[in-house]
A and B are shown apart, each in its own frame.
Chain A
Amino acid sequence: MELTATITIRKSTSVVFAFWRNFENLPTFMAHLDEVRTKSDRTSYWRASAPFGQAVEWDAEITEEIPGERIGWRSTEDADVPNAGKVWFVPAPDGVSTEIHVVLVYDIPGGALGKAVAKYFGEEPHQQLDDDLRRLKQVLETGEVVRSDGAPWGKRARDEFPQRPAQPLSPEELKEGMR
């Protein structure tokens, strides 16, 4: 499964590159990631949440890096769900912003784990990547993920069709959203 998405952020390419290059920042905007820990200059440990309370974890290594321009990474051999990603940082036409182009590739395995992963991503997997980039834009431009009383979890395309009826959130829903 290959997902691509782009977004424009009003920060210089060096600022955006530095934020992404520190992989420990990725869980601040990638909703499915719980934790990323740097192990060495080129390797890191990643943990993501999966349905039914399971955690999916893998080690990753950087495959290519051009400072301020491009980062490529991939999971190492024994990953449960092999995945790889590439991100390009392109100066935007306005001269101050950065266009970010992301490609993520997942090898969905067969069997129960594969079905669980596919179900987790839902019918529109690239919407989740779009949401992730939206959150990255919010974090870099405003300093935080934008939340509201109606959507305390921030922008989540999966919750927009069909949309919940316009009613105040129950205390349980509010607590769940603020988590």
Chain B
Amino acid sequence: MRAVTWAGRNKVEVRAVPDPSILNSRDAIVQVTSTAICGSDLHLVDGYIPTMQNGDVLGHEFMGKVIEVGRGVDPEKLRVGDRVVVPFPIACGACGACAAELYSCCENSNPNA
């Protein structure tokens, strides 16, 4: 598939990248239909983040369609064909904060928290 990738400070390129695959039983593959550019993407492009590597795919807030789900995904929650909006927070869904819908306070997702 093609993706917008970081190619150095102030350089982005559309390149061919490997198709995504299900790595974890709770993964889902979402085909991006529309996307937004965030101020944080500018931090990455401007070279303020030292862990960026040539070829990293940019983008973290988008809409899309689910085209594949892993075995561990609850079909009540997510099915192939669902149209989804994907925000940037990564949350486990099982801790006390996630149960209270405070996903940005997830107690498990940030290994440094």
Contact B95 A141 (CB under 8 A): yes
What is the interface residue range for chain B against chain A? 10 to 19
Q: Determine the distance from Cα of A96 to Cα of B96 in the docked complex, in whole angstroms.
A: 9
* Interface flags, B7-33, vs A, CB<8A=1, else 0: 000000000000000001010000000
Q: Are B51 and A168 in contact (CB under 8 A)?
A: yes
CB-CB under 8 A from B51, the residues of chain A are 150, 166-168
Minimal beta-carbon separation of B34 from chain A (angstroms): 27
Q: List the one stretch of B37-45, B58-66, B103-111 in contact with chain A.
A: B103-111
Partner of B108, one of A146, A160, A166: A146
Closest chain-A Cβ to B82's Cβ sits at a distance in Å of 22
Q: How far is the CA of A167 from the CA of B51 in the complex (A)?
A: 5
B50 at the interface (CB under 8 A from A): yes
List the count of A-B residue pairs having beta carbons below 8 Å apart.
46
Within 8 Å of chain B (Cβ to Cβ): is A97? yes
A34 to chain B, nearest CB (A): 22
CB pair A94–B96 under 8 Å, yes or no, is yes
- Chain B residues touching A, majority SS: loop
B67 at the interface (CB under 8 A from A): no
**The one of B93, B96, B108 that contacts A138, using a Cβ cutoff of 8 Å:** B108
Interface residues of chain B, those whose CB is within 8 Å of chain A, are: 24, 26, 49-51, 53, 72, 92-96, 99, 107-109, 111-112
Q: What is the interface of chain A, defined by CB distance below 8 A to chain B?
A: 8, 10, 94, 96-97, 137-138, 141-144, 146-148, 150-151, 154-155, 160, 165-168
Closest 8 CB pairs of A and B: A141-B94, A142-B92, A155-B111, A166-B50, A151-B111, A138-B108, A166-B51, A10-B96
16 more contacts with CB within 8 A, not counting A137-B95, A168-B51, A168-B53, are A8-B96, A10-B96, A137-B107, A142-B92, A142-B93, A142-B94, A143-B26, A144-B24, A147-B111, A148-B111, A150-B51, A150-B111, A151-B111, A165-B50, A166-B50, A166-B51
